[in-house]
């Protein structure tokens, strides 16, 4: 059946339902350029305002998924499971998680992203390892996965091209914060990986895109529902992003902390989340042994060895994994000091993420290349007792002018009060097909 973009925009504007056929036509015509950006942006705004029902969401995700190449790893007998985080500050979990899960026999074909806004990206972090290439062809991706049981790459040109175009359009038309558009964007890319299971980490709090629990929960439920309708077992965790994860923010800093986790010496929150997510990924893969098996992979060095192997397979210099002091560090150092005696009651992930980005760990403009050596080491987080003058953070930076514009902002991320508070609960909720 033939459609026109205008009639479909009017259908959604008037709160009527788009048929699966109409959605398939629209996504196809947008991908091949016959529907222009201005009509798709009107449609995205109509969806943002009026939502989609579950049939529309299924059809939209399906059409996005099939707008390009869908990978098929059925020749690999072992289960293929991946993880996706909606993004946060200091969120390096994928880097220790993927090797530890792969060391337990589960294949992980991970496609990751770059930093977005104030949040860091796994690809930017991995590229702080000299030589590590994240842009693999589909054949190279398959080869690394088959040989090592894990691969950590960026999205290829041929995967979900509809999302590549639509995401860039939403970014400049105020249509990012739509739960059906976010859910279909994330899930179409994950479903294109040919997975058996998927773990989702939906962050909530100041440093997350979903600032409150109500929206985080709605996004988690929507994505778990899409996974179920595509027969991919999907579990989501809603986790706190009110303060950064771990003690390191910045690309090389986070690689160092990930290596600490793989050596069994990581900070409690990063290690705990890695293990809880690892157990769930093993469960999704139908692999027995859970926590004990993961602990073993760390204790024996098998997980660290997987990280060394995958680094070499991506062309990276694995000597920095054996000796993280070889990782690049920006030349200058500054200290943020506690303004008074007391207890840290706030350590704001958003402010710390924005400052790290502006200091050069992320991008101000799309074409910027992050500085891998810029980073913030947190010395005090929520619940910690400090004395006046104690370091709250140590900052490494390369550009003095940038530091001068950021030092007050970064200092404002901490509140030190007389009364102690407890650290926020790390894992807020688990969502799976039985709970939606
Ligand atoms: N990440 C994505 O991949 N898509 C969105 O729409 C938002 C975050």
Residue 316: per-residue pLDDT: 98
Q: Which of 182, 216, 241 to mutate to test the pocket of ligand 1 (most atoms within 8 A of CB)?
A: 182
Residue 157: per-residue pLDDT: 87
Structure tokens at 336: 């943020």
Residue 364: per-residue pLDDT: 84
**223 alpha carbon – ligand 1 mean position (Å):** 12
**433 alpha carbon – ligand 1 mean position (Å):** 22
CATH 3.40.1030.10 describes domain 81-324: yes
Annotated catalytic residue: which of 91, 163, 201, 348? 163
Is residue 277 within 8 A of residue 241, CB to CB? The reply is: no
d(CA 298, CA 312): 19
Structure tokens at 66: 């099939």
Domain-wise residue ranges, the chain: 5-51, 81-324, 328-417
19 is catalytic: no
Q: Which of 161, 171, 186 to mutate to test the pocket of ligand 1 (most atoms within 8 A of CB)?
A: 186
Please tell me the residue having the least CA distance from ligand 1 atom 1: 186
Please tell me the residue having the least CA distance from ligand 1 atom 8: 182
Please tell me the residue having the least CA distance from ligand 1 atom 7: 182
Q: Is the pTM of this model over 0.85?
A: yes
163 is catalytic: yes
Query: What are phi and psi for residue 120, nearest 5 degrees?
Result: -85, 165
Residue 171: per-residue pLDDT: 84
170 is catalytic: yes
Instruction: Report the CATH architecture of 328-417.
Output: Alpha-Beta Complex (3.90)
**Cα dihedral across residues 28, 30, 33, 34: positive or negative:** positive
pLDDT tens per residue, range 190-212: 999 999 999 999 999 999 999 99
Please tell me the residue having the least CA distance from ligand 1 atom 5: 182
Residue 395: per-residue pLDDT: 98
**83 alpha carbon – ligand 1 mean position (Å):** 14
Strands (E), 86-190: 108-112, 150-154
Q: Which of 176, 190, 193 to mutate to test the pocket of ligand 1 (most atoms within 8 A of CB)?
A: 176
**176 alpha carbon – ligand 1 mean position (Å):** 8
Ligand 1 atom showing the smallest separation from residue 186 Cα: 3
**183 alpha carbon – ligand 1 mean position (Å):** 7
Ligand 1 atom showing the smallest separation from residue 181 Cα: 6
Q: Strand pairing partners for 342?
A: 386
Residue 367: per-residue pLDDT: 83
**352 alpha carbon – ligand 1 mean position (Å):** 21
Pocket, ligand 1, Cβ cutoff 6 A: 167, 176, 181-182, 185-186
Query: What are phi and psi for residue 402, nearest 5 degrees?
Result: -60, -40
Which of these, 266, 208, 209, lies nearest to 240 by C-alpha position?
208
Alpha carbons within 13 angstroms on the beta-carbon side of residue 278 total 32
What one-character DSSP code corresponds to residue 360? I
Which of these, 183, 159, 225, 191, lies nearest to 82 by C-alpha position?
191
Specify the CATH number for 5-51; select among 3.40.50.740, 1.20.970.10, 1.20.1260.120, 3.10.110.10.
1.20.970.10
pLDDT tens per residue, range 289-304: 899 999 999 999 999 9
d(CA 126, CA 129): 6
d(CA 223, CA 432): 10
Q: How far is CA 151 from the centre of its chain?
A: 15
Query: What are phi and psi for residue 36, nearest 5 degrees?
Result: -80, 165
What one-character DSSP code corresponds to residue 95? H
Residue 88: per-residue pLDDT: 96
Ligand 1 atom showing the smallest separation from residue 189 Cα: 3
In which residue ranges of the chain is pLDDT below 50?
none
Length of the chain counted residue by residue = 436
């Amino acid at each position: 059946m033939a459609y026109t973009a205008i009639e479909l925009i009017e259908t959604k504007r008037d709160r009527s339902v788009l048929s699966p056929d109409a959605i398939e036509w629209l996504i196809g015509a947008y991908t091949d350029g016959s529907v222009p950006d201005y009509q798709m942006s009107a449609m995205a705004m109509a969806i943002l305002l009026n939502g989609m029902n579950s049939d529309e969401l299924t059809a939209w995700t399906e059409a996005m998924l099939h707008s390009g190449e869908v990978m098929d790893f059925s020749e690999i007998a072992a289960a293929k499971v991946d993880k996706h985080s909606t993004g946060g500050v200091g969120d390096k979990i994928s880097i220790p998680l993927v090797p530890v899960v792969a060391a337990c026999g589960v294949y992980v074909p991970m496609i990751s992203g770059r930093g977005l806004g104030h949040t860091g990206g796994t690809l930017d972090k991995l590229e702080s390892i000299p030589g590590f290439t994240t842009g693999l062809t589909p054949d190279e991706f398959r080869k690394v996965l088959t040989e090592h049981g894990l691969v950590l790459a960026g999205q290829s040109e041929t995967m979900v091209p509809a999302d590549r175009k639509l995401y860039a359009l939403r970014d400049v038309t105020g249509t990012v914060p739509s739960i059906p558009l976010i859910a279909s964007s994330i899930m179409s890319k994950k479903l294109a990986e040919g997975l058996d299971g998927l773990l989702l980490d939906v962050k909530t709090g100041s440093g997350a895109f979903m600032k409150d629990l109500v929206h985080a929960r709605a996004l988690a439920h929507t994505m778990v529902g899409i996974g179920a309708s595509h027969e991919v077992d999907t579990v989501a965790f809603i986790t706190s992003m009110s303060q950064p994860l771990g003690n390191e923010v910045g690309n090389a800093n986070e690689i160092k902390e990930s290596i600490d986790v793989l050596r069994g010496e990581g900070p409690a929150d990063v290690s705990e989340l890695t293990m809880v997510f690892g157990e769930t990924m093993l469960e999704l893969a139908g692999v027995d042994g859970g926590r004990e098996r993961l602990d073993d992979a760390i204790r024996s060095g098998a997980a660290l060895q997987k990280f060394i192997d995958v680094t070499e397979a991506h062309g990276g210099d694995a000597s920095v994994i054996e000796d993280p002091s070889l990782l690049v560090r920006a030349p200058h150092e500054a200290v943020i000091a506690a303004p008074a005696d007391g207890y840290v009651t706030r350590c704001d992930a958003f402010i710390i993420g924005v400052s790290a980005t502006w200091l050069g760990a992320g991008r101000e403009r799309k074409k910027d290349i992050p500085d891998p050596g810029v980073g913030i080491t947190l010395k005090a987080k929520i619940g910690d007792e400090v004395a006046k003058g104690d370091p709250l953070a140590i900052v490494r930076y390369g550009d003095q002018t940038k530091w001068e514009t950021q030092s007050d902002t970064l200092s404002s991320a901490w509140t030190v009060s007389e009364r102690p508070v407890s650290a926020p609960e790390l894992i807020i909720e688990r969502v799976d097909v039985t709970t939606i």
